[in-house]
Chains A and B, each alone.
Chain A
Amino acid sequence: MNKHLPYRDWIFEEETLPADSAQALRRHLQGCPDCRAAAEAWKAARQSLANAGEKSPRTGFTARWKALAAERIRVPSRRPAWAMLAVSSAGSLVMALALAVQTSTQGFSLAGVFTRDLSAAAGALEDWMDTTSSLGAFLTIVSRSIPPACYLFAIFFVSLIGILWLLLFVRSTAQGKQQ
């Protein structure tokens, strides 16, 4: 058994110890150089933290912050616009590829989209009831159950967001140059 326990824990305790524990710790410290060294080291370390004081920034900190804020307000970060454009472009591409695969294997006509979608969804539901729940089968069913019309809508929507972000980006850049 460790003879320093529980005294070593008590040394680093912040709460005031009960009188009997404090007395026991005092007795232990008198007879244990290791624990006494630990106690004195912590006391000295704590004192050095207290002596260190609060560090001040260079003068003009607030003025520098205001300049930073003004700059960031004037020229908003370009990253979100480019990030959104990249994500929406990648999303559109993936959707277009998925649509291409689906239409090439199933044939595609706008008139038949909705009737075929209904039967595809029903078939997918039926498959789902019968299939074991492996991830691959699940993903296959999910991809089959998304109708081409949804793909078309998603491509349109994502592209629209991309174009919108591009327009906003161009406008904000132009405003920044004017100012």
Chain B
Amino acid sequence: MVSVSALGQAGKTAVGRTGAAFKENPVVVEIQKEWLLAAREGDVDAFGRVVDAFQKPVFNLCYRMLGNPEDAEDAAQESFWRAYQGLSKYDFQRPFGTWMLSIAAHYCIDRLRRKRPILLSLESLLPEDDAPDETPNPEDQTHRKQEQEAVQQLLSALGREERAMIVMRYWHDMSYEEIARSLKVSVGAVKSRLHRARHTLAERWPVHSLSPVSPGGGHE
């Protein structure tokens, strides 16, 4: 039996910022398989460990898609519930991270389809109590908040699927193939839509940038 601390460590390794996050090393896969197999049998606590390990990437995807922490929390919770319920359909050959993000992305896309999102974060108006504060300098904090807002503004210029693709690509380092599989589109479609999305982001950048890069001439 693997100790609790070892599980925790493995979980943290599994949710790193880079693409390696979902290209698990064998130890992580072994441990997660244990959790998943137990969860498949109805063990909520076992799936709780999976939730613990993947909460950050899933929440981040939901936040980037929906634009505010309240909706992101709801969407992430619901995505984990759907994953828990759909564990019998999970293919163990596939990285769990991409499968999980796929569920979250589909849920967010459906949610955006049903209603128009609130794209400006409420966090910019409310004090942040629980989020870890890594920048004690108030100026830095303000700058970071403004930058986060600018990023959300940028993302809001994109369509639902394009936004999901950008988040998967640039936050979670997913390959074209993984994105295609997750969103059930062709690799060609992913490439062309990401290309278009990059174009849109560049077009929007000078408008929403807080400290726009002076390009030596306006770009229209």
Contacts and interface: CB of A to CB of B under 8 A. Distances in A.
A14 B63 CA distance: 25
B73 interface: yes
A66 B45 contact: yes
A62 B219 contact: no
Interface string B192-220: 00110011011111100100110111111
Interface in B109-142: 129-132
Residue from B129, B166, B171, B219 having most chain A Cβ neighbours under 10 A: B219
A43 interface: yes
Contact of B147 (A34, A40, A41, A48): A48
A140 to B, nearest CB: 39
B87 interface: no
B130 A34 contact: no
Interface string A36-64: 11101111111011111111111101101
B154 interface: yes
A22 interface: no
Secondary structure dominating the interface of A: helix
Nearest to A33: B217
A66 B48 contact: yes
Contacts of B81: 65, 68-69, 72
B51 A61 contact: yes
Given A43-B213, A45-B201, A56-B56, A66 B44 contact: yes
B170 A37 contact: no
B202 A58 contact: no
Given A48-B147, A52-B151, A59-B130, A12 B55 contact: no
A73 to B, nearest CB: 7
A13 interface: yes
A51 B80 CA distance: 27
Nearest to A61: B55
Contact of B195 (A13, A33, A37, A41): A13
A19 interface: no
Contacts of A37: 206, 215-219
A46 B197 CA distance: 11
Interface string B38-57: 00000011011001100111
Interface string A1-43: 0000000010111100000000000000000011011101111
B76 A61 contact: yes
A42 B216 CA distance: 14
A70 interface: yes
A57 B76 contact: yes
B64 interface: yes
B207 to A, nearest CB: 10
Contacts of B194: 14
Contacts of A51: 147
Contact of B52 (A41, A52, A56, A62): A62
Given A48-B209, A57-B56, 7 more contacts: A12-B202, A36-B217, A42-B199, A44-B209, A55-B69, A64-B73, A66-B45
Can you list the 3 inter-chain pairs with the closest CB atoms, starting with the nearest? A37-B219, A37-B215, A33-B217
17 contacts: A40-B216, A41-B215, A43-B213, A44-B209, A45-B201, A48-B151, A49-B151, A50-B170, A52-B148, A53-B17, A56-B56, A56-B131, A56-B132, A59-B130, A65-B80, A66-B48, A68-B81
Interface of B: 17, 44-45, 47-48, 51-52, 55-57, 59-60, 63-64, 69, 72-73, 76-77, 80-81, 84, 129-132, 147-148, 150-151, 154, 166, 170-171, 194-195, 198-199, 201-206, 209, 212-213, 215-220
Interface of A: 9, 11-14, 33-34, 36-38, 40-46, 48-59, 61-62, 64-66, 68-70, 72-73
